[in-house]
């Protein structure tokens, strides 16, 4: 048996962090029995253009959004690193920190999961962590709808790992894939940036403390 309850990991650009990120972390903690979820803002995300806000601003917003919730931790290491932010490297670092037996669960929205086979050293992810896939409105596939529309390579690697019972996550340190349903929230950072860029309100899509920070630092104008 594993030594302690699984630790969740939620990476993202968080440009800016919003309520769907926070519900994803919170609902995953409940649904999957996670002791905590560590949010890891990417410094330099390799799969996309340069974020609009600096790594320091994005980290500060993640800290504000998670303040007061003891289940959510913030991991600043990718922001502090000059290297590109590859998830496999972060997982290796966490493995070294936590030891070989602690279950680690990488949390992904369905859109991020669908692109997994394009990640740096992606097959190694499963030796380092479990993967839990959340539904996301407008994005297919949710892992439960396999095998429809999946990348064949991703499908071949993932289908044998697919389980439905979150109990498997506590019983091994890594290697299983578990889909879970969160409250569907059609919120994206892209939409929030569009609203703010057009001078429109993004209120209630993200925490007020984060919106105040954005206003104070004139971000996304």
188 contacts ligand ATP (rule: CB under 6 A): yes
Residues 133-172 that bind ligand ATP (CB under 6 A): 134, 136
Residue from 111, 151, 155, 157 touching ligand ATP (CB under 6 A): that is 111
Lateral strand order in the sheet of 7-12: 72-74, 36-41, 7-12, 104-109, 130-134, 177-180
Told to check if 8 binds ligand ATP by CB under 6 A, we report no
Strands (E), 19-144: 36-41, 72-74, 104-109, 130-134
Residues 16-55 within binding reach of ligand ATP (CB under 6 A): 20-21, 24
Residue among 7, 104, 112, 125 that touches ligand ATP (CB under 6 A): 112
Quick check: 211 and 202 in contact, CB under 8 A?
yes
For residues 132 and 106, give the distance between their C-alpha atoms in angstroms, rounded to a whole number. 6
Using CB under 6 A as the binding rule, whether residue 131 contacts ligand ATP is answered as: no
User: Cα angle at 10 between 8 and 12, to 5 degrees?
Assistant: 170
CA 163 to CA 177: how far, in whole Å?
6
Residue 102 is a binding residue for ligand ATP (CB under 6 A): no
Question: According to CB under 6 A, which one of 103, 109, 173, 175 is a site residue for ligand ATP?
Answer: 109
Write down the least CB distance from residue 146 to ligand ATP, Å: 17
Does 15 interact with ligand ATP (rule: CB under 6 A)? yes
Distance in angstroms (rounded) separating the CA atoms of residues 143 and 163: 10
> Which residue in the set 152, 165, 190, 218 belongs to the binding site for ligand ATP (CB under 6 A)?
190
Taking CB under 6 A as the binding criterion, the range among 63-71, 85-93, 183-191, 194-202 that sits at the site for ligand ATP is: 183-191
Neighbours of 82 (CB within 10 A): 6
The least distance separating ligand ATP from the CB of residue 168, rounded to whole angstroms, comes to 21
**92, burial (CB in 10 Å: exposed 0-12, middle 13-18, buried 19+):** middle
Using DSSP's 3-state secondary structure scheme, residue 156 falls into helix
Is 71 in contact with 26 (CB distance < 8 Å)? yes
Which of the stretches 7-15, 69-77, 78-86, 196-204 binds ligand ATP when contact is defined by CB under 6 A? 7-15
Binding footprint of ligand ATP on the chain (CB under 6 A): 12-15, 20-21, 24, 108-109, 111-112, 134, 136, 185, 187-190
């Amino acid at each position: 048996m594993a030594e302690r309850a699984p630790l969740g990991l939620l990476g993202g650009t968080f440009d800016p962090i919003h309520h769907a990120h926070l519900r994803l972390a919170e609902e995953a903690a409940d649904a999957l029995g996670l002791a905590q979820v560590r949010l890891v803002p990417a410094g330099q995300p390799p799969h996309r253009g340069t974020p609009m806000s600096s790594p320091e601003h994005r980290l500060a917003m993640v800290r504000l959004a998670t303040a007061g919730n003891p289940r959510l931790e913030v991991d600043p290491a990718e922001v502090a690193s000059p290297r590109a932010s590859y998830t496999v490297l972060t997982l290796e670092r966490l493995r070294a920190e936590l030891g070989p037996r602690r279950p680690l669960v990488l949390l992904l929205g369905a859109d991020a999961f669908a692109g997994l086979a394009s990640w740096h050293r992606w097959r190694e992810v499963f030796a380092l962590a479990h993967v839990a896939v959340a539904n996301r409105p407008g994005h297919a596939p949710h892992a439960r709808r396999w095998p429809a529309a999946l990348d064949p390579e991703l499908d071949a690697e993932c289908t044998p790992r697919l389980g439905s019972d979150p109990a498997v996550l506590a019983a091994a340190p890594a290697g299983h894939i578990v889909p879970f349903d969160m409250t569907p929230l059609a919120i994206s950072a892209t939409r929030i940036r569009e609203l703010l860029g057009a001078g429109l309100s993004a209120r209630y899509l993200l925490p007020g403390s984060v919106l105040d920070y954005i206003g104070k630092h004139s971000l996304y104008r």
